[in-house]
Amino acid sequence: MAYTTFSLIANDAMKEPMFFGNPVNVARYDQQRFEVFEKLIEKQLSFFWRPEEIDVSRDRIDFMNLPDHEQHIFISNLKYQTLLDSIQGRSPNIALLPIVSLPELETWIETWSFSETIHSRSYTHILRNLFTDPDEIFADIVTNEEIQKRASDIAGYYDALIHATQFFQLHGLSQTKVDYINLHGDKEALSLRTLKKKLYLCLCSINALEAIRFYVSFACSFAFAERDLLEGNAKIIKLIARDEGLHLTSTQQILNLWADGKDDPEMAEIAIECFGEGREIFLQAAEQEKEWAKYLFKDGSMIGLNEQILCQYVEYITNQRMQAIGYEAPFAVKNNPIPWINHWLVSDNVQVAPQEAEISSYLVGQINSKVDSDDLSTFEL
Amino acid sequence: MSVKLTVNGLEYPLNTEKTLLENLEAQAIKMEFHCRTGHCGACRCQLISGQVNYRVSPLAYCRQNEVLTCCSISKKDIHITI
């Protein structure tokens, strides 16, 4: 079935599944099959920010004074974050928009991915300030073996879905004239169900990225700021983390709506069928993050964070995220080994002492619409 | 009449003006949280009995027996496990 930018089928979007139904036609938001995506759009728009609003000029001095092994931790972490957002700034659009069937979900995917491009722009903002020529840092993201290892794993599920969807939209599903050759060069029988399976696994992989991988990198960024170092960077990461809270919720919503049978009944079956494979994706992500922790701290630890603590956090956050989508907690760790991180993740934490750091708490394009009925008590008609 | 918050079988007094998360923190009970505005879902816990009202409508996915502690208040006795 070919993709069309405006389907002329007069369908009822309230009866469509999230994905693989009729293509979206009228972008209307007066009715929503799943209201939560409309609310997520509103929330994400109210969070709008630009990296240039945050002054990172003091970070350069802090960075220059860091010992070599801490510079390695900081820069490697930033490179990894750059990789994650490079993927997220484009992939949800390319992978999910051609198959989405609900207007509110389509717009959410666009809004979500757009906010990831802001994150990417902010890494350039940070690096430009730290280095006269950040070219070497960016160039290393593609060649660094440690980063490459996780890049191919994250991109793999997206690429498999994109590749199969493109074949399906070009040739249909019958495969009588053209065989489907998958990304590994093997002939594969493609059906709507196998496509949906690829979508399910891709969503698991996206959720692992948004809900686990990002948070491990946040821990490193905030560990510096806990020592009053590189605070401009932490301000930016705090804004990024606030956005990521929404992104992880949206992927949890999609996975849970499928699993609970509230969307496409076939996706509910697939959720059970691919339960084990989904679990593997999360465990694999946790394992990779632990390897990454080893690489980060290869030349030494920093105050407040070392390989062991970061690995415990990987296990802790993996437990939390897997439980949120119906899995058992796979690791024994019960308590958060770095409870201080949560105070950096509060979404409306107001900065009260502007002299201590650059403020980022002022409202941009927002209004406070809370009106207490007592406020109107002196009014008379 | 004092209202009670039961957490993992232990009883605590409940402040009905404060969120469940603030109540837990007041009793020094460790509870995970991130956003504190109902959108990330980190503070999700199991509801055994009782009812909650949300200060803001939560964006995180909540099954029937789950509550988000960061943005919910309870006016009556409530039993949760974390």
Strand partners, B68: B44
| CA-based radius of gyration for chain B | 11
Percent of chain A whose pLDDT exceeds 90: 85
Give the model's pLDDT for residue A365: 54
> Which of A252, A342, A345 lies at the smallest CB-CB distance from B61?
A252
- Among residues A123, A200, A215, A313, the one annotated as catalytic is A123
Mutate which: A36, A313, A370, vs B, most B CBs within 10 A: A36
What percent of chain B shows pLDDT beyond 90? 93
Residue A366 is predicted with a pLDDT of 56
pLDDT at A13: 93
Distance separating alpha carbons of residues A93 and A111, to the nearest angstrom: 10
Inter-chain CB pairs, A–B, below 8 Å: 64
User: pLDDT tens digits for A3-23?
Assistant: 999 999 999 999 999 999 999
Write the residue in B33, B42, B61 that is nearest to A256 by C-beta: B61
Domain count for chain B: 1
**A42 has a pLDDT exceeding 80:** yes
Instruction: With a cut of 60, say whether residue A359 has pLDDT above it.
Output: no
User: What residues does each domain of chain A span?
Assistant: 33-349
Q: Using alpha carbons only, what angle is made at residue A244 by residues A93 and A162, rounded to the nearest 5 degrees?
A: 25
Q: How far is A39 from chain B (nearest CA, A)?
A: 7
* Count of residues in chain B: 82
Mean pLDDT for all residues in chain A: 92
Shortest CA gap A249–chain B (Å): 6
Active-site residue flag, A327: no
Are residues A249 and B36, on separate chains, in Cβ contact within 8 Å?
A: no
Statement: residue A283 has pLDDT above 60: yes
Confidence tier at A174 by pLDDT (50, 70, 90): confident
Over range A212-217, report the average pLDDT.
Answer: 95
B66-68 sheet: strands from edge to edge:
B10-13, B4-7, B78-81, B44-49, B66-68
When pLDDT is averaged across residues A150-156 and rounded to a whole number, the result is 90
Contacts of A246 in chain B (CB under 8 A): 39-40, 59
Residues of A near B (Cβ–Cβ under 8 Å) read 36, 39-40, 43, 241-242, 245-246, 248-249, 252-253, 256-257, 260, 320, 324, 335-336, 339, 342, 345-348
Measured between CB atoms, which of A249, A320, A336 is closest to B59?
A249
Inter-CA distances, A324 with A39, A84, A217, B60, B80, Å: 20, 22, 20, 10, 16
Looking at residue A269, its pLDDT comes to 98
CATH number of residue B12's parent domain:
3.10.20.30
C-alpha angle with apex A217: A129 to A295, nearest 5 degrees? 95
Residue A352 has pLDDT above 50, yes or no: no
Q: Which residues pair with B12 in a beta bridge?
A: B5
pLDDT score of A354:
47
Confidence of residue A347 (pLDDT cuts 50, 70, 90): confident
* pLDDT the model gives residue A326: 94
Average pLDDT of the residues in B47-66 = 94
Residue B5: the pLDDT is 96
Of A39, A336, A347, the CB nearest to B32: A336
ipTM value for the complex: 0.92
The structural architecture, per CATH, of the domain A33-349 is: Orthogonal Bundle (1.10)
Could you tell me if A202 and A161 are in contact, meaning their C-beta atoms sit under 8 angstroms apart? yes
User: Residue B15 sits in which domain range?
Assistant: 4-81
